[in-house]
Amino acid sequence: MITRQFRYVSNQRSAALKSLHSSKHAHQLLDESPYSNSTPHFPVNHSLPNSSRVNPPFDTFTRFRELLKSGQDYDIDEVTLALALKASCNNSRQGTQVHKFAITSGLMSFITVSNSLMNMYSKSGHFDKALCIFEGLNDPSIVSWNTLLSGFQKSEEVFNFVSRMNLNGVAFDAVTCITALSFCFDIESLPFGLQLHAMVLKSAFDGALNVGNALITMYSRCKRLEDAQRMLEEMPNRDLISWTAILSGYSQEESYGLEAIWTFIEMVKQRLYLDNVPFTAAFSACGLQKNLEVGRQIHGLCIKEGYGLHVSVCNVLMSMYAKCEAVEDAKLVFTGMNERNVISWTTMISIDEKYAVQHFNDMRSDYVYPNDVTFVGLIHGITIGKLVKEGQMVHACCVKGNFLSKSNVCSSLITMYATFELIQDSIKVFEELESREIALWNALISGYSQNGMFLEALRVFLSAVKECKPDQYTFGSVLNTIGSCGHISLKCGQWCHLHLIKVGFATDPIVSNALLDMYAKRGSIFEARKVFNEIPQKIQSAWTSIISAHARHGDYDSVIALFQEMKNQGVKPDSITLLSVLTACGRNRRIDTGQRLFNSMLPEYQIKPCSKHYSCMVDMLARAGRLEEAERLMGCSPGGPRLSMLKSLLWACRTHGDVEMGERVADTLMEMEPNEAGPYVLMSNLYAEQGKWEQVVKVRKMMSQKGVKKEVGFSWVDVGEINTSLSLHGFSSGDRSHLQSEETWKMAECLGLHMKLW
């Protein structure tokens, strides 16, 4: 890219210079300036430089122009011209007029004038002209090289130009290194930053404060915080910029939150002058650490130092309070702000989701124009509140404001409509897009899965991998889909497993946990355990998935062993983990262990038992024949008896022959689900086992009168390959619907004969 640019400049240079030389007299050109305020005449070499220190740049140029109009151009020297060009940095038309005067007056021979011209064109958005001037220099100085270097916008171009400087034998100075280091802001540019650091160590400006600050900033941006800290410690002198650079680096990384807070405290101890930047970094760190107490103390100091109403500080402060779950404090900060920008309103919309629409309307009344992040927060609030009409209105606003060109907004709209169960509207948003990033495919996959359309979700995934490169969220979504749908072939999950290994996502936390959960839900306990063992850092969800998998298989010993290991590793269980352990206890008649765990949920784990935990305990007691105790516990459940509890109790009544309780429970179930066959069938079987045939006939007659039919049970069989069939084949007793049913029946007869022989 930079080579092509240099060639282009070489071709254009002669034409540009010819145009400049053929211009009218410079006096006339400067008269073309749109500004015509008359000012007194001043001696150029003394008054103009002095006035530039106290007056705005425009005043400097105005006085320069008036001097030309008065015919005193013979006094203008290279310093005067440099000042005029400095005043023209944001006005290319004005700067071009000065350029033409420099050519006609012969002042272009001074290197300071050329440098000032390059600086003016670079800052005016005409870098190609600056490059043209540089290529015309016979002997550019280090200032010339640095001036052009500062005009580049892309890292690659900067690195290429610095390499060119080195090949030309240019001795770098501090400005060269500082400028080049400012473009090293990610892991890809780190090697170049390391080379610059090595060059600094060999140079005469090693130990310079501004160079040291640039190196700290570079290491912080590249997430090499240990190296940044080492640089800070080795610097002989440090200023506010030094400390702020390392503080900003720490505050961006959650794992370094404590270091960020310590650094801020150290800055306070050293009585450094704190501006808005250290305060925003400190609040950000407190938010990541969810350290509300320290955050409030820093807030008090911030008010004391006079930055309590600074817009950027208040924006981060609101975010900190929200992350610390002190939403009311965040609202108070917002209410007290004298000035609010788009970030302020967007933060408030994201925090106060219940009133997101109201805040959005207030924002528009305040004449603040929203951005794409504003709409993402607004749509999320609407989605949570299930405000269908408001969602459609916001969609219209996005169309009108041309925000559908933003993938994050479109992704939010797809998710919103899917949550509203308007999947066709999600598809319409997706299909109307000209370009589709992977995040949009992910949103559509999740939308289908959320609406129970699992096969469609899988087909969208297969289309997505053909058009663009999937990311970890793509695999996470499709693996959750396969795990949630029992009639999708497990071969699809295994194919995804192979594919994600090929693209390098096998160790990604999101993917590995989704993969583990998929195998666990689909009953492939061996594969699930294998994935679990290969996870380098096991988070809570990984432990919960593997414990749940073993619980579904009734493997009590493995559940208890994993649960104990989880606690030993310092991982706190959540409500789902405890539910799985209780399930394992119930299925293995470990009543005492289950009751101890249930009673310890609130005091030991700070988890209040919900209806699912009560249902598990009711099932546990009912299986053990402690029916009256189970019925009493069911009455204590939050929200009253649930269907799952009643069904467990009725099943136990049949098992243990308790007709009286069975009748009570069945009556309640029939009222709650009048068209469900389960209670009728269970009571019919209970009466039959007790020899009460009249009651059996009565129940059967009641089913017939109400039109209640027993659902036919069926099983699934995986009969296809990934390329021919995505789903399993369902069959019931006597079913001959499958194309290969004859072969299946023959194989069944063959197996039956083998069983008789053995």
* For range 35-47, the mean pLDDT: 39
pLDDT score recorded for residue 76: 66
> Distance (Å, rounded) from C-alpha 432 to C-alpha 417?
15
Kindly state the average pLDDT of the residues 577-602: 90
389/92 Cα distance (integer angstroms): 49
Say how far apart CA 692 and CA 670 lie, in whole Å: 20
Instruction: Assess if residue 161 is contained within a domain.
Output: no
Considering 118, 138, 158, which residue would you say is the last residue of a domain? 138
The CA distance from 140 to 148, in Å, is 11
With a CB cutoff of 8 Å and minimum separation 6, the contacts of 582 are 594, 597, 598, 613, 616, 617, 620
pLDDT of residue 653: 84
Q: Indicate if the pLDDT at residue 120 is higher than 70.
A: yes
Range(s) of the domain holding residue 719: 639-731
Q: How does residue 708 score in pLDDT terms, banded at 50, 70 and 90?
A: low
Residue 74 lies in a domain: yes
Q: Using the 3D structure, point to which of 138, 159, 187 is the last residue of a domain.
A: 138
Return the minimum-mean-pLDDT range out of 69-83, 331-345, 462-476: 69-83
Residue 116: inside a domain: yes
Residue with tokens 């270097």: 149
Helix, strand, coil fractions of the chain, as percent rounded to 5: 70, 0, 25
So what's the pLDDT on residue 735?
Answer: 65
> By the 8 A CB rule, do 642 and 630 touch?
no
Q: Domain ends where: 103, 138, 173?
A: 138
How high is the pLDDT of residue 679? 75
Task: Grade residue 70 by pLDDT with cuts at 50, 70 and 90.
Answer: low
pLDDT computed for residue 66 by the predictor: 65
Give per-residue pLDDT as tens, 633-659: 888 888 888 888 888 888 888 888 888
Q: Does 424 fall in a domain? A: no
Within a domain: 492: no
Higher pLDDT, 461 or 204: 461
Torsion of CA 156, 159, 160, 166, to 10 degrees: 180
Question: Structure pTM?
Answer: 0.73
HSE of 712, CA atoms in CB hemisphere, 13 A:
8
State how many domains the chain has.
2
Domain-located, residue 720: yes
The pLDDT > 70 percentage for the chain reads: 85
Model confidence over 343-381: pLDDT tens digits? 999 999 999 999 999 999 999 999 999 999 999 999 999
Is 478 part of any domain?
A: no
pLDDT over threshold 70, residue 719:
no
Residue 94: inside a domain, yes or no? yes
* CA neighbor of 377 nearest in space, from 405, 404, 354: 354
Q: Which amino acid is located at 41 in the chain?
A: H
Q: Which residue has the tokens 């740049």?
A: 57
Query: What's the sign of the alpha-carbon dihedral 443, 444, 445, 451?
Result: positive
